[in-house]
Amino acid sequence: MNIVCTVEARMNSSRLPGKVMKKIENKTILEILLNRISRAKKINNIVIATSYNSKDERIINLCKEKKINFFRGSEKNVLKRLVDAGKFFSADVIVQLTADNPLIDPDMIDYMIKFFTNNKNIDYLTNNGLGHSHSRKVPMGLDIQIFYYNDLKNNYMKSKGKLDLMEHPSLFFYREGKNFFKLHNIDLPKKFYINQNYRLTLDTKKDFLVIKKIYLYFLKKKNINFSTRDLSNFLRNNKSVMKINENIIQKKVKLLA
């Protein structure tokens, strides 16, 4: 199977514009993420799925410079953007990531891909609690979602006219799709354990400060390929870091129909 990792990225974020191109030392957030994803052994292709908005030219220029595949599509209809990107790159399976999660663990990606491909009775695999915070297996920011391209394409055909589904590509799986897709929220091995209450995604200036402190620590230690266990140990011993953004309220999406 052709396993394609799609990374949704855009410059026009409402709360922190240009966040994916913000730099820590000499690396942008997007580069940090790409360097980590590139170590996943079971991904055949990485594709940056961005938009036709002129502001996203910076993302395109970075992709060209780093020789990373990219696809441009609708800015608002992210579902269609992913469907078109998957078609263009002949995806059989999609590993869906977003560019505002630069601390993703490539070993976790590989573990979940292997679990997904070995369990033919699963149509959709995630570690994020299927949209329910109390069922999350990882903190906000380490989310991984895996599904078949044909299922995504069929979801698009059924989702036309539903704006919330177009903006959130996995929402159909969680809602209408739960009636006919076999969804699975994975139980991860202990080596991937990390406090689910941490906030490791990038949406605000405080989030950026948290990610910057984490990355600079491991950069100083010459360990930019740090694992989830390394990250967990650091945060457990540096509790002040997670206090920086502990009061940030995550935007909510109505998941249940």
Domain assignment present for 215: yes
Domain that holds residue 17: 3-243
Q: How far apart are alpha carbons 139 and 128 in whole angstroms?
A: 8
Can you point out the beta strands (E) in 127-212?
Answer: 145-148, 183-185
Domain assignment present for 27: yes
Q: Report residue 175's pLDDT band, with 50, 70 and 90 as the boundaries.
A: confident
Domain assignment present for 191: yes
Q: How far apart are alpha carbons 95 and 233 in whole angstroms?
A: 27
Domain assignment present for 75: yes
Domain assignment present for 131: yes
Dihedral angle sign, alpha carbons of residues 237, 239, 245, 247: positive
pLDDT tens profile 117-137: 999 999 999 999 887 777 888
Q: How far apart are alpha carbons 76 and 200 in whole angstroms?
A: 24
Name the token pair of 162.
């539903």
Domain assignment present for 248: no
Mean pLDDT of 169-181: 87
Return the axis-axis angle of helices 29-37 and 106-118, rounded to nearest 10°: 50
Q: How far apart are alpha carbons 171 and 177 in whole angstroms?
A: 8
Domain assignment present for 251: no
CB atoms within 10 A of CB 210: 25
Q: How far apart are alpha carbons 13 and 161 in whole angstroms?
A: 23
Dihedral angle sign, alpha carbons of residues 150, 139, 28, 171: positive
- Predicted TM-score (pTM) above 0.85: yes
Q: What is the DSSP code (8-state) at residue 140?
A: B
Which CATH number belongs to the domain containing residue 70 in this structure?
Answer: 3.90.550.10
Element (H, E) at 151: helix 149-159
* Domain count of the fold of the chain: 1
pLDDT tens profile 178-230: 888 999 999 999 999 999 999 999 999 999 999 999 999 999 999 999 999 99
Q: How far apart are alpha carbons 236 and 244 in whole angstroms?
A: 14
Of the candidates 200, 188, 71, the one whose C-alpha atom is nearest the C-alpha of residue 139 is 200
- Res 255: pLDDT: 55
Domain assignment present for 171: yes
- Res 257: pLDDT: 44
DSSP 208-250: HHHHHHHHHHHHHTT-TT--HHHHHHHHHH-HHHHHSSTTPPP
- Res 253: pLDDT: 62
Q: How far apart are alpha carbons 215 and 246 in whole angstroms?
A: 18
65 CB-near residues (< 8 Å, 6+ apart): none
pLDDT tens profile 34-93: 999 999 999 999 999 999 999 999 999 999 999 999 999 999 899 999 999 999 999 999
